[in-house]
Structure 1
């Protein structure tokens, strides 16, 4: 057909109401205008008239009518097969779009400082995967600085970092807290105590990683031990993974600090003792871009907030 205004071919299918196609499928299934009308809640005469108009528009006889009912013509059968396939594709498209819109399909890219068994992050990701099994989860481990840079360049959807950073171009929300522990060689003199103070560790050599929460741990140690060493804190930065750092502690290279998630891990030769003089647990925050409207992100934030409140409630009790 030709569009009279523009003089270009137009699609006949685009001008056929979807309701006409659905009614045609119903008549083809029941081979009865009356039964199709009862199923759709539409008067028999209305369906008969609508399909008659469709046949005139198409220039095709879809159904042969008789006193015994109706039956599909060969052209009608081919038409119905094509319409049924198209309706199935449309239904799939609608359902798929709906799943993406509500966050049941898609992917989410998460930046973490570490992922330890039994930690808050471990439980959060397990809960998210259970609730949204068809969402692809991509995890990148790195420093807070790296993760926030990746957020700004849209390489990550969300990052979980130690502390409560003040970032004017990002949204931040405190999600959970962890008490701080000293990581000591198992044969260290302080291991006999149930806890330690920062003054107890004055003069010790501290080991921190270059990656993960290492830069934040470095700044934290500087703040806590400023003025306690004549020549300043002795801090050795190591370009190693967490397990290697813990092995260095076990061999007596020095001590370090760690959150509760790390202290939960059974590491041979390393003992963890809480700090008596830490004023409050270390906060951990979610950071994300205000321009990210992803439903997968929204669902993760909702679950993280719910689990964080639940964990805080248990701690109070």
Structure 2
């Protein structure tokens, strides 16, 4: 099979923009040359990759499959060729990280900002996905590493806990349980609940805590986003058990939040493929995420920042240093 690098780059440009003319502008080819390159690639593969009409360009199933994997392949190839040829220092390149929604919203912005400040040559690309998709992305090599809630099955992954996030009770201020400074899990017996659905890494842990503490509850609604959960609680549909990190920084003006006893927390973990070393760039970003989580935890607990590693605050070393 004689597939050329140019053919793959042309296909990627067409797949991204769904337009032959724009793809030609990106790769420096005329529209006929783009069409010819696509036809040659399809001939080599023995598959039709695009359905083209006068109005639109649509990826076939084979085209979608190739496009989904091509970014990673070409980026890896670019990085390898640049490294081998000595055209790029170790300071620049892309690092792909996948994380589950509450972590994407509440932990990752600070990590990305720190990376931009301390290692401006690194492109920190975040993929915001449900937990199972994060795990799949790590296993397939689509991303360098992931940030998840402790997975139930991860024998094939290396996992490093970076943060403990306690569950809290969210309820209307007028609710009888809101009159207590803290609430026991067993006191939730018989309460209508509005919870995150099972796509969340937290739901399994919440269900286990309720069962362990003998609280049988009717789950009225199962939802995918914390904001929707909060709106349901405001509407009086039920009360909720949520991870602390799901709460907005400004708090919940219309709702009360109470700690649950005994304390149950979810472990936030960095994950990567076991026995697969990270690139130096990905290793640096791994450290940024780990140390940013530690700084956040210290800020919440009131611990002195001097006790927290600050590797993430150090500039990324120059090539050869």
Q: Scaled by the length of structure 1, what TM-score is found?
A: 0.59
CA distance in 1, matches of 2:118, 2:199: 28
CA distance in 1, matches of 2:198, 2:127: 12
Correspondence 1:133 to 2:123: no
Of 277, 280, 301 in structure 1, the residue corresponding to residue 286 of structure 2 is 301
Question: How far does residue 182 in structure 1 lie from its aligned partner after superposition?
Answer: 0.9
Question: How far does residue 110 in structure 1 lie from its aligned partner after superposition?
Answer: 2.5
Of 214, 221, 224 in structure 2, the residue corresponding to residue 228 of structure 1 is 214
Match of residue 232 from structure 2: 248
| SS of structure 1 residue aligned to 2:292 | helix
Of 182, 187, 210 in structure 2, the residue corresponding to residue 195 of structure 1 is 182
Of 172, 185, 202 in structure 2, the residue corresponding to residue 185 of structure 1 is 172
Question: How far does residue 134 in structure 1 lie from its aligned partner after superposition?
Answer: 3.5
CA distance in 2, matches of 1:179, 1:243: 18
| SS of structure 1 residue aligned to 2:164 | strand
C-alpha distance after superposition, 1:187-215 (max 9, x if no partner):
322222222110221111222233763xx
| SS of structure 1 residue aligned to 2:183 | coil
Gaps of 5+ in 1: 1-90
Correspondence 1:152 to 2:139: yes
The answer to whether the 8 Å contact 1:113/1:212 transfers is no
CA distance in 2, matches of 1:165, 1:240: 19
Count of matched residue pairs:
218
The answer to whether the 8 Å contact 1:186/1:270 transfers is yes
Give the alignment's Cα RMSD to 1 decimal: 3.0
Match of residue 238 from structure 1: 222
Gaps of 5+ in 2: 1-81, 305-321
The answer to whether the 8 Å contact 1:172/1:288 transfers is yes
The answer to whether the 8 Å contact 2:188/2:217 transfers is no
C-alpha distance after superposition, 1:20-79 (max 9, x if no partner):
xxxxxxxxxxxxxxxxxxxxxxxxxxxxxxxxxxxxxxxxxxxxxxxxxxxxxxxxxxxx
Match of residue 173 from structure 1: 160
| SS of structure 2 residue aligned to 1:179 | strand
CA distance in 2, matches of 1:150, 1:108: 10
Match of residue 114 from structure 1: 102
CA distance in 2, matches of 1:96, 1:256: 54
The answer to whether the 8 Å contact 1:171/1:289 transfers is yes
The answer to whether the 8 Å contact 1:111/1:156 transfers is no
| SS of structure 1 residue aligned to 2:88 | helix
